Amino acid sequence: MSLTTCTIHVINRQDRTVYVTSELANALNLSRIRGVTLSLGSKTASLGLKLLKKTGHHLYLPTAVYSQLRVPRPGSITVMCSNGKDIRIGPMIGVLTNVTRSSSAPFGSRTSFIRQFMRAGSDRAYYFGFSPRDVNWAQSTVTAMIPKGENGWMRKVIPLPDVVYNRSPSRKAEKLMSMNAFKSRFIKKGIPLFNWSFFDKSDVYRLLEGTEASRHVPESRINPSAAELRNMLERHKFIYLKPTGGSLGIGIFRLTYNPKRGYYARFRRAGRNVLLRFSSFDSLMALLRKQGGSLNKYVAQQGIRLIEIDNCPIDFRFHMTKNASNEWVVSAIGAKKAGKGSITTHVRTGGQLMTPEQVLRQIFGARSDAVLANAKETAVKLAQTIERNYRHTLGELGFDIGIDQNEHVWMFEANSKPGRSIFKHPALKEQGRASLNHLFDYCLYLSRFRARRDS
Ligand SMILES: Nc1ncnc2c1ncn2[C@@H]1O[C@H](COP(=O)(O)OP(=O)(O)O)[C@@H](O)[C@H]1O
Ligand SMILES: [Mg+2]
């Protein structure tokens, strides 16, 4: 297996031949033969081979071959050869998302993130964005949105990709049968697709149930009955009630039980934090039913006493990615301090972004490095366990992690399509880039653009 990079040129000729510089032919261990196959994504062409006595890694394609293979653009790309005669160029990395009519922001508010993702290894891969309706299965092609110049985009019909990074934005749309069938078609064709769909909180707790890693998940009850809520409140003194398919802290309650004074509920209503007291459990339940609907699709969770600064709880976002060796790595950590009176740490409710070092030093002093190292190890273990018990391929996870005063590490939720807001912090910019590089490397791994056959 030989792998390198080369520059692709289009030449004004009519023959069905690929012209390869002798230096590139050597690097690829090409046999001295007359014919080769050249593949790009789902397309393959059988071509004559001619060597050019020239230095450098260059590959020249006659116009007709270039258009038959539907090469997205000329220029620098990865090239590999496994057996001396079958050449692959690519990889073609497709980002599955919503495509709008706008030519400047074809992926709406996600355009800038997707563009950033496409910059990692942009001279070694063909990147494009697409939505389900852009795929033509009969022709094995995609009408793709391809980056052009610094910030522009162009539409072009190209082959099916080697790997799909799923960033489709709608929780609801992802649950449709049609969307599942669409994604399954890639898998059936042997095209890996990673980050299959959004997680519900209950899915993640189930994936971890009964595993060694479950000691990092607070006790959780899915669709709790009133009796179960009451029982959890008595045992834990405070609990969190969270919509299982929720995000951004929306619909969350923090409930407290004090044997002398009764029950308290904290939540957010009309953009403000409210605190209500109830003398009986039944009146608390009446409020919950009024505010939270039937509490169907909720999960009740043991409350964790998080570390605090200025009386504001702190938790952490661990941004996990796979790397070139198919291993989980912690590619970034952001610390989040809750806004005054807020029960969650989201920036939209006044939360403040900090670095974990800043926070941990202040709280654990000399022990802070050990605490951080332990939390990282735990996060990797959690990612491995979730992956092991999950049916689909994962490439990225965003964990909301808490640390309590006893240094115990807790996971509140795992996001399978993590946001990137922590990377707005100036100290985390570099980690943001690193996370995208890991994702690119993982795409190389999944698409088998690898120098050695290792799995
Ligand atoms: N069991 C818990 N104990 C203490 N704090 C919690 C608990 N569950 C959630 N939180 C706090 O609320 C935040 C939001 O909870 P999370 O489960 O991440 O829901 P969302 O999907 O709305 O982000 C967490 O980041 C954490 O600060
Ligand atoms: Mg969260």
Token couple for 342:
């807020």
CATH code of the domain containing 161: 3.40.50.20
Q: Per the domain annotation, does 354 fall within a domain?
A: yes
398 CA → ligand 2 middle, Å: 9
Same domain, 311 and 432: yes
**CA-based R_g, the chain, Å:** 26
Q: Per the domain annotation, does 365 fall within a domain?
A: yes
- Measured from the CA of 306, which atom of ligand 1 is nearest? 4
Same domain, 129 and 74: no
| Burial environment of residue 193 by CB neighbours within 10 A (0 to 12, 13 to 18, 19 or more) | buried
At residue 447, what are phi and psi to the nearest 5 degrees? -85, 5
The C-alpha atoms of residue 204 and residue 213 are separated, in whole angstroms, by: 12
| Burial environment of residue 109 by CB neighbours within 10 A (0 to 12, 13 to 18, 19 or more) | exposed
**Confidence band of 455 (pLDDT split at 50, 70, 90):** very low
Q: Per the domain annotation, does 208 fall within a domain?
A: no
- Measured from the CA of 412, which atom of ligand 1 is nearest? 17
299 CA → ligand 1 middle, Å: 11
pLDDT, average across residues 421-437: 94
177 CA → ligand 2 middle, Å: 27
Token couple for 358:
């800043």
Same domain, 395 and 269: no
Q: Is the pLDDT of residue 291 over 90?
A: no
248 CA → ligand 1 middle, Å: 9
Ligand nearest to the CA of 351: 1
Query: Rounded to whole angstroms, what are the CA distances from 298 to 173, 186, 252?
Result: 20, 33, 9
Q: Whose CA is nearest to atom 27 of ligand 1?
A: 344
Q: Per the domain annotation, does 373 fall within a domain?
A: yes
| Burial environment of residue 235 by CB neighbours within 10 A (0 to 12, 13 to 18, 19 or more) | exposed
Q: Per the domain annotation, does 452 fall within a domain?
A: no
Q: Please tell me the predicted confidence (pLDDT) of residue 69.
A: 97
| Domain end marker among 302, 337, 352 | 302
CATH code of the domain containing 30: 2.40.40.20
Q: Is the pLDDT of residue 88 over 90?
A: yes
Same domain, 153 and 98: yes
Its sign, for the CA torsion 135, 137, 139, 141, is positive
pLDDT, average across residues 117-140: 96
The C-alpha atoms of residue 187 and residue 39 are separated, in whole angstroms, by: 19
For a substitution probing ligand 1, which of 252, 405, 412, 413 has the most ligand atoms within 8 Å of its CB?
412
Q: Please tell me the predicted confidence (pLDDT) of residue 246.
A: 85
Closest to 3 (Cα-Cα) out of 61, 71, 82: 82
| Domain end marker among 89, 111, 142 | 89
Same domain, 74 and 97: no
pLDDT, average across residues 137-154: 95
Ligand nearest to the CA of 336: 1
Instruction: State the pairing for strand pair 253-258/312-322.
Output: unpaired
Same domain, 316 and 404: yes
Q: Please tell me the predicted confidence (pLDDT) of residue 376.
A: 98
Please state the domain count of the chain. 4
Q: Please tell me the predicted confidence (pLDDT) of residue 443.
A: 97
Token couple for 334:
């952001």
Average pLDDT of the chain to the nearest whole number? 94
pLDDT tens for residues 158-187?
999 999 999 999 988 999 999 999 999 999
Q: Per the domain annotation, does 440 fall within a domain?
A: yes
CATH code of the domain containing 399: 3.30.470.20
The C-alpha atoms of residue 70 and residue 126 are separated, in whole angstroms, by: 12
346 CA → ligand 2 middle, Å: 8
pLDDT, average across residues 238-243: 96
Same domain, 68 and 123: no
Q: Please tell me the predicted confidence (pLDDT) of residue 452.
A: 61
Q: Is the pLDDT of residue 454 over 60?
A: no
Same domain, 268 and 367: no
Same domain, 38 and 6: yes
Residues with C-beta less than 6 Å from any ligand 1 atom: 218, 240, 242, 246-249, 252, 301-304, 306, 315, 344-345, 400, 402, 412-413
Ligand nearest to the CA of 344: 1
Same domain, 359 and 324: yes
Identify the three-state secondary structure at position 381: helix
Query: Rounded to whole angstroms, what are the CA distances from 53 to 59, 87, 204, 220?
Result: 12, 19, 58, 68
Q: Please tell me the predicted confidence (pLDDT) of residue 247.
A: 87
The residue assigned the tokens 């640390």 is 403
327 CA → ligand 1 middle, Å: 27
| Domain end marker among 89, 124, 147 | 89
Identify the three-state secondary structure at position 186: helix
DSSP conformation letters of 293-347: TT-TTEEEEE---B-EETTEEEEEEEEEEE-TTS-EEEEEEEEEEPPTT-SS--G
The C-alpha atoms of residue 392 and residue 388 are separated, in whole angstroms, by: 9
pLDDT tens for residues 338-368?
999 899 999 989 999 999 999 999 999 999 9
Q: Per the domain annotation, does 206 fall within a domain?
A: no
Percent of the chain with pLDDT strictly greater than 90: 88
Specify the higher pLDDT residue, 33 or 237.
Answer: 237
Same domain, 136 and 173: yes
pLDDT, average across residues 302-307: 97
Q: Per the domain annotation, does 292 fall within a domain?
A: yes
The C-alpha atoms of residue 240 and residue 242 are separated, in whole angstroms, by: 6
Same domain, 328 and 414: yes
Q: Is the pLDDT of residue 296 over 70?
A: yes
Closest to 122 (Cα-Cα) out of 160, 95, 158: 95
Supply the range of the domain harboring residue 122: 92-194
Please report, as a single letter, which amino acid is at residue 106. P
